[in-house]
Amino acid sequence: MSRRRTTLLALTGLTATALAAAPPSAAAVEPVPEKQPLAIGTGGAVAAVDPDATRVGLDVLAAGGNAADAAVAAAAALGVTEPYSAGIGGGGFFVYYEAATGEVSAIDGRETAPLAMGAGAFLDEAGDALPFAEAVQSGLSVGTPGTPLTWARALEEFGTLSLAEALEGGIRLADEGFVVDETFRQQTADNEEKFRLFQPTAELFLPDGALPEVGSVFRNPDLAGTYEVLAGKGVEAIYTGELAEEIVETVQDPPEAAGAAEVRPGLLEPVDLARYDAPMREPTRIDYRGLEIYGMAPPSSGGSTVGEALNILERFPLSSMADVPVLHSYLEASALAFADRNAYVGDPAYSQVPLAQLLSDEFAAERACAVDPVAALDKPTAAGSPDGEYGPCPAEDGPTAGEGAEGLSTTHLTVGDAAGNIASYTLTIEATGGSGITVPGRGFILNNELTDFTFKAADPTRPEPNLPAPGKRPRSSMSPTIVLDDGNPVLALGSPGGSTIITTVLQTLVNRIDRNLDLAEAIAAPRASQRNSPTPDAEPAFIELYGGDLGALGHEFVPVAELGAATGVEYLPGGLLLAAAEPERRGGGSAGVVQDVTGDVGPDDPQLAPELGQN
Q: Does residue 536 form part of some domain?
A: no
Q: Are 9 and 176 in contact (CB under 8 A)?
A: yes
pLDDT more than 90, % of the chain: 86
Instruction: Tell me whether residue 391 is exposed, middle or buried, using C-beta atoms within 10 angstroms of its C-beta: 0 to 12, 13 to 18, 19 or more.
Output: exposed
Lowest mean pLDDT among 38-42, 456-460, 486-490: 456-460
The pLDDT of residue 599: 78
Q: Which of 410, 432, 481, 567 is catalytic?
A: 410
User: CA nearest 579: which of 16, 5, 54?
Assistant: 54
- Res. 4 pLDDT band, cuts 50 70 90: very low
| Average pLDDT for 421-434 | 96
| Predicted confidence (pLDDT) at residue 246 exceeds the cutoff of 60 | yes
**Entry field: residues in the chain:** 615
Lowest mean pLDDT among 6-20, 202-216, 381-395: 6-20
- Res. 460 pLDDT band, cuts 50 70 90: confident
Q: Does residue 19 form part of some domain?
A: no
pLDDT in tens, 589-611: 999 999 999 877 777 777 788 88
The pLDDT of residue 400: 60
The pLDDT of residue 35: 85
Better-scored residue on pLDDT, 534 or 179: 534
pLDDT in tens, 508-525: 999 999 999 999 999 999
CA dist 309 and 319 (Å) reads: 16
| Average pLDDT for 142-159 | 98
- Res. 462 pLDDT band, cuts 50 70 90: confident
| Predicted confidence (pLDDT) at residue 395 exceeds the cutoff of 70 | no
| Average pLDDT for 461-475 | 95
pLDDT in tens, 270-309: 999 999 999 999 999 999 999 999 999 999 999 999 999 9
The pLDDT of residue 600: 78
The pLDDT of residue 463: 86
How many structural domains are present in the chain? Answer: 1
What is the average pLDDT score of the chain? 92
- Res. 394 pLDDT band, cuts 50 70 90: low
- Res. 376 pLDDT band, cuts 50 70 90: very high
Q: Are 440 and 449 in contact (CB under 8 A)?
A: no
- Strands 537-538, 558-559: pairing is parallel
Q: Does residue 539 form part of some domain?
A: no
pLDDT in tens, 548-569: 999 999 999 999 999 999 999 9
Q: Are 489 and 97 in contact (CB under 8 A)?
A: yes
Most confident of 9-13, 177-181, 244-248, 394-398: 244-248
**Distance set, CA 149 to CA 32, 66, 449 (Å):** 33, 19, 17
Q: Structural domain of residue 252, as residue ranges?
A: 60-91+101-279+418-452
Q: Does residue 482 form part of some domain?
A: no
Q: Does residue 528 form part of some domain?
A: no
- Res. 404 pLDDT band, cuts 50 70 90: low
Q: Does residue 353 form part of some domain?
A: no
pLDDT in tens, 11-59: 333 333 333 333 322 333 334 556 899 999 999 999 999 999 999 999 9
Name the region of 73 (left: φ>0; alpha: ψ -120 to 50; beta: rest).
alpha
The pLDDT of residue 81: 95
**What are the backbone angles phi and psi of residue 604, rounded to the nearest 5°?**
-100, 10
| Predicted confidence (pLDDT) at residue 360 exceeds the cutoff of 90 | yes
Q: Are 96 and 423 in contact (CB under 8 A)?
A: yes
- In Å, the largest CA–CA distance within the chain is 72
| Average pLDDT for 316-328 | 97
CA dist 319 and 445 (Å) reads: 45
Q: Where are the alpha helices (DSSP H) in 41-94?
A: 51-62, 67-81
Q: Does residue 479 form part of some domain?
A: no
The pLDDT of residue 609: 85
How many other C-beta atoms lie within 10 A of the C-beta of residue 453?
A: 28
Lowest mean pLDDT among 56-70, 162-176, 349-363, 401-415: 401-415
Instruction: Tell me whether residue 136 is exposed, middle or buried, using C-beta atoms within 10 angstroms of its C-beta: 0 to 12, 13 to 18, 19 or more.
Output: buried
Q: Does residue 246 form part of some domain?
A: yes
| Average pLDDT for 310-334 | 98
Catalytic: 410? yes
